[in-house]
Structure 1
Amino acid sequence: MIKTSNIHKFYDKLHVLKGVNLHIKKGEIVSIVGASGAGKTTLLQILGTLDKPKLSTGTELKINGEDVLKMNDKDLSKFRNLNLGFIFQFHQLLPEFTALENVCIPAFIANKSKVETELEAEKILTYLGLKNRIHHKPNELSGGEQQRVAVARAMINKPAIIFADEPSGNLDTETAQNLHNLFFKLRDELGQTFVIVTHNEELADMADRKLIMVNGAIKREVKKPIILTYDLLNSSI
């Protein structure tokens, strides 16, 4: 799904990422944690093709088998729109548009049919529990509803991967928990892959793998333990 090798990033003389190697599989939820300045958001932006690493010997970034570092800007923009979804701390919804219209925007950019896109957007919003809020504008929605619209917008082009940068950082505890549970529902029911940068330890610990960044490098990986049920234990006896 995502494979990186030797990812470095400099801002002037500041060495932000220091040779990051990473492999993320389809259907995984991976969290990235670390202190402020550790390089989490920079790594997420490079994985999401919003920024580029320094090209050096052995540097590689492949997504779904595509070598994105060899794409020109036009091809990369198209690839990003069709294959990657993004959720940010602030929902970034356009205030003059309804929930439905906001969700449709990435598909319209991809020149998809208006009728088919609106039907798909309505289907996703209904799936996310927003059937009765489809024609409401952002200022008529709660914070949790706004983020669910942002999730729907990230999903409209059926992306291979959704990148989330502090997705619950602007939400109260209960709403944040509901959003976290939604990510796992999408993974379990639709096979969606997530890469999440977060300071929320509860969300980070829920992930299949937690990558801990220190000073521009992934220093440690924590895998979620596999919990065997009574039935599974009996089946091996």
Structure 2
Amino acid sequence: MIFGKNIHKYYGDVEVLKGVDLTINKGEVVAIVGPSGAGKTTLLQILGTLDKPNTQDDFELTINNTSLKKLPDNKLSVFRNNHIGFIFQFHQLLPEFSALENVCIPAFIGKKPKIEAEKKAKELLSFLGLSHRIHHKPSQLSGGEQQRVAVARALINNPSVILADEPSGNLDSESAKNLHELFFKLRDEFGQTFVLVTHNEDLANMADRKLNMIDGKIE
């Protein structure tokens, strides 16, 4: 599913990632843990093609059998929209749009017909227990509901992998517990692959594997 080799990242003279190697299998829930500043979010952004590594001769990054090493930016954007779903700590919903409209945005970017996109979005929101909230705007939803809308948005294009950066960091304990259980339900029902950056020990301990990052490397 995901294969990364010798991933380096510099910001100026500071080397944030120091030759990271990792392999993540389809259907795995993998937690990346470690202290602040270890490079976890930087690694997640590179896996999600939101940032680019400093390439080395033997660098490689492959997702779903596609090498991303030499893809031009326009093709990289298309790949990202079709194959990678994102969930952030601060859900990043657009406040002027309803839950349904927020979920549909990646599908519209992918040029899916409106009828098809809305049908899939309604199915996802219903699966996530939000069928009665589809026309509500983010300000009318609880924190847990907003994050479930963000999960539906991440799933709308049937991505190969979902990358989540501190997905429960802004939730109360009960909402966080529900979100964590939802990830495993999605994995079990849809074979979804998750890579989670988290400081939440409960979530990390639930994962199939924990990757511990220290000082820009995976131990």
User: Which TM-score band applies after superposition, normalised by the shorter structure?
Assistant: over 0.9
Partners in 1 of 2:57 and 2:75 — Cα distance?
23
Partners in 2 of 1:56 and 1:83 — Cα distance?
25
Amino acid at match of 1:185: K
Residue equivalent to 2:141: 141
Residue equivalent to 1:181: 181
CA RMSD of aligned residues (A): 0.4
Residue equivalent to 2:216: 216
Residue equivalent to 2:108: 108
Residue equivalent to 2:25: 25
- Structure 1's consecutive aligned runs of 4 or more residues displaced over 2 angstroms after TM superposition are none
| Alpha-carbon offset, residue 69 of structure 1 | 1.6
| Alpha-carbon offset, residue 57 of structure 1 | 1.6
The correspondence of residues 13-162 of structure 1 with structure 2, limited to 5 A, is 13-162=13-162
Partners in 2 of 1:132 and 1:168 — Cα distance?
23
Partners in 2 of 1:81 and 1:172 — Cα distance?
30
Amino acid at match of 1:4: G
Amino acid at match of 1:161: V
Residue equivalent to 1:190: 190
Partners in 1 of 2:173 and 2:166 — Cα distance?
14
The answer to which structure, 1 or 2, has the higher relative contact order (CA under 8 A, 6+ apart) is 2
Rg bigger for which structure? 1
TM-score (norm 1): 0.92
Amino acid at match of 2:150: A
Partners in 2 of 1:30 and 1:208 — Cα distance?
6
Aligned pair count reads 219
Partners in 2 of 1:105 and 1:78 — Cα distance?
14
TM-score (norm 2): 0.99
Partners in 2 of 1:137 and 1:170 — Cα distance?
18
Q: 1:175-203: per-residue Cα shift (whole Å, max 9, x none)? A: 00000000000000110000000000110
Residue equivalent to 1:163: 163
| Alpha-carbon offset, residue 76 of structure 1 | 0.1
Q: 1:102-133: per-residue Cα shift (whole Å, max 9, x none)? A: 00000000110100100000000000000100
Partners in 2 of 1:89 and 1:69 — Cα distance?
28
